[in-house]
Amino acid sequence: MTNQQTVPHGIMFHHFHDERHVNGQGTISAKQLEQIIEYYGDRLLPAKEWFSKAKANCLAEKDVCLTFDDALLCQYDIALPVLEKYSLTAFWFVYSSVLAGGIEKLEVYRKFRTVCFSSIDQFYNDFFSTLEETEYQDMVAKSLENYSHENWSNFPFYTKHDTKFRFIRDTTLGVERYNKVMDVMIKKHNIDITDFSSDLWMSVDNINTLADKNHIIGLHSHTHPTQLSMLSVQEQENEYRKNFDFLREALGQSPKTVSHPCNSYSTDTFSILRNLKIEIGFRANMENHLFSEYEFPREDHANIIRRIEQ
């Protein structure tokens, strides 16, 4: 792993919790965000300053920025006031289907496994048991012969159950079959998905407010596929073109930045982004390798919290 003290990078955030937004796997509080900000201190740059230095290829080794993925309402409600307290701005990478009124089940399923089970392991047990009752049972069993926690995990904080679940979801089942399995589980809980998802995502007004406050709004695909690099070139083009067009219309300006959903991208992705005149982008880890203008590294907040608490 790259030494986080010797390379310019972003800090990657997703979920936050408070009285309204549920406390679950991977969520942090406003207080923990403050701890991270104080841990980095004056290394943290406002988003537009970091962006300008990145474009000019003059980032210092110590330069760090804050990034938020997925257009989550909990970020706006909980993280934004903390940033304003410290006079900081950030990059916000949003997928646009939910801003257009759609419902993306990936986030719904995450909330489901958080609020409807006593623990994440209870959810995994129920998920694996449900799989055994489906037509996919043999296919899953066969695919697991190629599964290895050590080889598959990109993040050290993932447990074996975490990686096994993600392997089955992303590599074995794919979106359509995974959704069928999850919908069977949700049906058992009599959940109305529209009501259940009402507190998950920001609105167009929210992202305009962020832009007005000098934050940077960037691409994160249209529907947030978990394996974007496995899509055809045309499908990838559609994902990013829809995302780009929606944000340009909503904000009145063209987005210039991107982060890759689930860290999934390819050289085809880079060609698409260059055609859209995207100038910089972020990956989702701190792995030490040569990176393009679309692969600035990011440290997950969970790793930083672990260091702070040691």
155, pLDDT greater than 70: no
Stretch among 11-20, 21-30, 46-55 having the lowest mean pLDDT:
21-30
Are the C-beta atoms of 43 and 64 separated by less than 8 Å? yes
Stretch among 137-146, 219-228, 239-248 having the lowest mean pLDDT:
137-146
Supply 18's token pair.
């408070």
Tens digit of pLDDT for each residue in 295-310? 999 999 999 999 998 7
In the CATH scheme, what is the code of domain 9-102+200-309? 3.20.20.370
d(CA 267, CA 236): 11
Mean pLDDT of 67-90: 98
pLDDT bucket at 5, cuts 50 / 70 / 90:
low
Q: What is the pTM of this model?
A: 0.88
Residue 68 phi, psi dihedral angles, 5° rounding:
-130, 125
Q: What is the largest CA-CA distance in the chain?
A: 56
State the average pLDDT for the chain: 93
For 86, other C-beta atoms within 10 Å of its C-beta total 12
pLDDT bucket at 146, cuts 50 / 70 / 90:
confident
Higher pLDDT, 47 or 26: 47
Distance of CA 197 to the CA centre of its chain: 17
- Cα distances from 165 to residues 72, 114, 150, 284, in angstroms, run 23, 15, 14, 19
Task: Name residue, tokens 């230095």.
Answer: 53
Residue 158 phi, psi dihedral angles, 5° rounding:
-75, 135
Q: Is 126 left (phi over 0), alpha (psi -120 to 50) or beta?
A: alpha
185, pLDDT greater than 50: yes
Paired with 216 in beta bridges are 91
d(CA 14, CA 74): 9
127, pLDDT greater than 60: yes
Supply 107's token pair.
């986030």
Higher pLDDT, 4 or 148: 148
For 249, other C-beta atoms within 10 Å of its C-beta total 10
Paired with 259 in beta bridges are 282
What's the order of all strands across the beta sheet hosting 280-282? 280-282, 257-259, 216-219, 91-94, 64-69, 9-13, 298-300
pLDDT bucket at 1, cuts 50 / 70 / 90:
very low
Q: Is 263 left (phi over 0), alpha (psi -120 to 50) or beta?
A: left
Mean pLDDT of 271-296: 91
Tens digit of pLDDT for each residue in 187-213? 999 999 999 999 999 999 999 999 999
Mean pLDDT of 35-47: 97
For 236, other C-beta atoms within 10 Å of its C-beta total 23
pLDDT for the residue 2 = 41
What's the one-letter identity of residue 193? Answer: I
Helices (H) and strands (E) in the chain, counts: 15, 7
pLDDT bucket at 215, cuts 50 / 70 / 90:
very high
276, pLDDT greater than 60: yes
The H-or-E segment that residue 50 falls in is helix 47-55
Percent of the chain with pLDDT over 90: 83
d(CA 143, CA 172): 6
- Comparing CA positions, the residue from 283, 276, 232, 282 lying closest to residue 254 is 276
Can you tell me whether residue 137 is helix, strand or coil?
helix
150-182: buried (b, 16+ CB within 10 Å) or exposed (e) per residue?
eebbeeeebeebbbbbbbbbbebbeeebbbebb
Domain boundaries, the chain: 9-102+200-309, 117-190
